[in-house]
Chains A and B, each alone.
Chain A
Amino acid sequence: MALLEIKNLHAEIDGKEILKGINLSINAGEVHAIMGPNGSGKSTLCHVLGGRDGYEVTQGTITFDGHDLLEMETEERAVAGMLLGFQHPVEIPGVKNIYLLKEALNAKREAQGLDEIDTFTFMKQVRELVASMDMDDAFLHRGVNAGFSGGEKKRNEILQMLLLEPKLALLDETDSGLDIDALKVVSEGINRMRGEERGIILVTHYQRLLNYVEPDFVHVLYKGKIIKSGDKTLAHRLEAEGYQEILEEAS
């Protein structure tokens, strides 16, 4: 059974249909890239999968790890193992990173029937991850993303993923706003998450990230539909020829 199964998904916002019949199947152990021009519905798909208010699913089903995803609250999806990496991670001054990390990890453990993590183990684990993402310990005591640069925010997203070990990581434009050094660190983080147990979806406009994280499958999203799927060579073609060629071919 697929980890994530999307069938004929239609969704609208403010009465305007954005997703017009998406079909997608993702297995554990696979990395999928969803590419598409601006306005194709990439972010909407991420928001629908995350359970954001204001997006109405009018048709179709989404099954995640055997659950009917559309019946679950946002936080239930998270503790069931689906983690959304934001295109624009939100700044929350006043709430410390360390506090959010602990709350998030304990929420997941509680859902799994485990006790709260002990502080010593937690701190050790977090410090190792912070170092591996080329970040400073001081960041833990700053407000969540507060005053972070674009690169720091994205590193923080990956750091959370590495700690929370989701079954499905959904990364929305994670490469946007990154300089080359940050892109490498973030890519290394994503590559470390790859594994038999985990599915990864990279939603991106450009092919750049895919030079560092090699996808197993590439899908082209256009006007709310997946119009073409293929292997990583599809991404190379998009880079070389642009979207137009592929769009014409598909139509």
Chain B
Amino acid sequence: MRQGLPDWLKTALPQTAAAPATIARTAREQVETLGLPGLRDEEWRWTNIRAIQRGNFSAPAGVGADIEPAIRLPLDNPLRLRFIDGVFQGVPNDAPEGLTLTALADADEATRQAAFSPKPAPSVENPNDALVTLNTAMAREGVVIDVAANATIERPIVIEWLDGATESVMSHPRVLVRLGQSAKATVVEHIETVGDQPAWRNSVIVSTIAANAALTHIALGLDGASRLATERSFASLERDARYHSYNVQLGGQMIRREYDIHVGGSGAHTDLIGLMMPRGKQVLDTHTRITHAAADTTSNEHYRTIADDAGRGIFKGRILIEEDAQRIEAYQSSNNLILSDNAEIDAKPELEIYADDVSCSHGATIGRLDQEALFYLRTRGVPLAEARGLLIAGFAQEVIDEIPLVELRDWLSIRLEERLGEQDLAGHETE
């Protein structure tokens, strides 16, 4: 028996939403029955979202536009799309040729239809989809990023999610990214909590990547102890399209991030690369689902988690290969490091293969720091705490090294080093 929506959420359902009327109406009806997911739902059994259920959040009343992120990413001439507590702050007026940025509220009906019709379509029966349906019912804010066919946008397009500026605010923004044939673009999510107020963002990004186009999508969950976020990214790929995803989660109280990648045209390829580093009482969770719906497609997935203190890391990676999708190569690895007795990591690969000509592999490891490596470093004179720091940073670095923007890579390495400097790395050995 499902609980239905909590009252505070029910009363917050808006009269008008950004979704086309019929989609919004259906979503509204569905969420009233679906409610919020809970521990009884298979997909949520490791991730307690009580903090959201009991959150009593309200929609933002509108905040001042003078809020700036505390963190400056080292990006070259970025185009900033700023959301403060989910409220879109407007499109920049210097978009380069080939790029069109439109506030969701100003988009035409067909565009809004696309923004609210991701592939694969969220299922009414699946409680896992309750949050995306809720977003559909609630979304009023958002942005549409259109890259014209054959255009290459060199400037990174940065979506700034600045959460927690006002008290107990929730937001349900929706973003549509469309790449025309042979287009290229990089979208960076800069995720930061700007105040110390609890906040919940339930955001959805829908990307469609036309033939031979390539989208690089980098998500950086940065500081902010009080952030609650449920984030969903859809990407559908046509023939020879590329979707490269990098997901780095360092901050937040409870972050659930989900990827649905529909590899739907032959020759298409996706990379899903991720690093999560929960500490304190953080819960950092990523679920990925890759659907190989066309023959001759490939995917490469590599996730790492490093859990310290009483932190929890969760990774679930599903790969579905449809019946007619032959000659698929799909690789997944999930390597996890536990630094303290109270930390926990749950890692689950899930392969569903209906085709017969498939090369598919997965591997998950969970362990502590390699004692042999630690001893080796110490025999070179490196003190224990520093040796631990080197190994942890090295473990993370292998993921960071895959990020294609070199300035971002270097910046993240330094940030990681600083972060490890704050942690007590000396006293955990219990060999």
Chain A nearest CB from B112 CB (Å) reads 45
B370 at the interface (CB under 8 A from A): yes
Q: Report which of B372, B378, B396 forms a contact with A73, defined as CB distance below 8 A.
A: B378
B378 — which chain A residues lie within 8 A by C-beta? 51, 73-75, 78
* A52, B375: Cβ atoms closer than 8 Å: yes
A78-B380 in contact given A53-B431, A94-B398, A95-B390 (Cβ < 8 Å): yes
Q: Report which of B370, B379, B394 forms a contact with A84, defined as CB distance below 8 A.
A: B379
B62 at the interface (CB under 8 A from A): no
B residues 396-416 near A (Cβ < 8 Å) are 396-398
A74 — which chain B residues lie within 8 A by C-beta? 375, 378-379
A227 at the interface (CB under 8 A from B): no
Q: What 1/0 flags go to B338-378 for Cβ under 8 Å of A?
A: 00000000000000000000000000000000111101111
Question: Count of B residues near A, CB < 8 Å?
Answer: 26
Report Cα–Cα, A105/B378, bound state, in Å. Answer: 12
B310 at the interface (CB under 8 A from A): no
Q: Which residue of A lies closest to B383 (CB)?
A: A75
A160 at the interface (CB under 8 A from B): yes
* A103, B398: Cβ atoms closer than 8 Å: no
Q: Which residue of A lies closest to B376 (CB)?
A: A90
Q: Report which of B379, B387, B393 forms a contact with A94, defined as CB distance below 8 A.
A: B393
* B376, A92: Cβ atoms closer than 8 Å: yes
A93 at the interface (CB under 8 A from B): yes
B395 at the interface (CB under 8 A from A): yes
Chain B nearest CB from A171 CB (Å) reads 12
* B381, A107: Cβ atoms closer than 8 Å: yes
A73 — which chain B residues lie within 8 A by C-beta? 378, 384
A94-B397 in contact given A52-B375, A100-B377 (Cβ < 8 Å): yes
Could you list 7 further interchain pairs (A-B, Cβ under 8 angstroms) beyond the known A92-B377, A92-B394, A94-B394?
A52-B375, A53-B375, A53-B429, A79-B381, A94-B391, A94-B393, A103-B382
Report Cα–Cα, A104/B373, bound state, in Å. Answer: 14
B329 at the interface (CB under 8 A from A): no
Q: Which residue of B lies closest to A83 (CB)?
A: B379
Question: Count of A residues near B, CB < 8 Å?
Answer: 32
A54 — which chain B residues lie within 8 A by C-beta? 431
B387 — which chain A residues lie within 8 A by C-beta? 75
Chain A nearest CB from B375 CB (Å) reads 6
Report Cα–Cα, A77/B382, bound state, in Å. Answer: 11
Report Cα–Cα, A54/B389, bound state, in Å. Answer: 22
24 CB contacts below 8 A, A to B, read A50-B375, A51-B379, A53-B371, A53-B375, A53-B431, A54-B431, A73-B378, A74-B378, A74-B379, A75-B378, A75-B382, A75-B384, A79-B381, A84-B379, A86-B376, A90-B372, A90-B375, A90-B376, A92-B376, A92-B394, A94-B395, A95-B377, A95-B390, A107-B380
Q: What 1/0 flags go to A66-79 for Cβ under 8 Å of B?
A: 00000001110111
B129 at the interface (CB under 8 A from A): no
A150 at the interface (CB under 8 A from B): no
B396 — which chain A residues lie within 8 A by C-beta? 94
A93 — which chain B residues lie within 8 A by C-beta? 394, 398
* A104, B382: Cβ atoms closer than 8 Å: yes
A10 at the interface (CB under 8 A from B): no
Chain A nearest CB from B394 CB (Å) reads 3
Chain A nearest CB from B392 CB (Å) reads 9
Which 5 interchain pairs have the tightest Cβ spacing? A94-B394, A107-B381, A78-B381, A95-B394, A74-B378
Chain A nearest CB from B264 CB (Å) reads 35
Chain B nearest CB from A73 CB (Å) reads 7
Report Cα–Cα, A182/B232, bound state, in Å. Answer: 54
B309 at the interface (CB under 8 A from A): no
A108 at the interface (CB under 8 A from B): yes
Q: Which residue of A lies closest to B378 (CB)?
A: A74
* B391, A104: Cβ atoms closer than 8 Å: no
B296 at the interface (CB under 8 A from A): no
> Which of B371, B382, B386 has the most chain A CB atoms closer than 10 A to its own CB?
B382
Chain B nearest CB from A208 CB (Å) reads 25
Q: Report which of B370, B371, B376, B383 forms a contact with A89, defined as CB distance below 8 A.
A: B376
A143 at the interface (CB under 8 A from B): yes
Q: Which residue of A lies closest to B380 (CB)?
A: A104
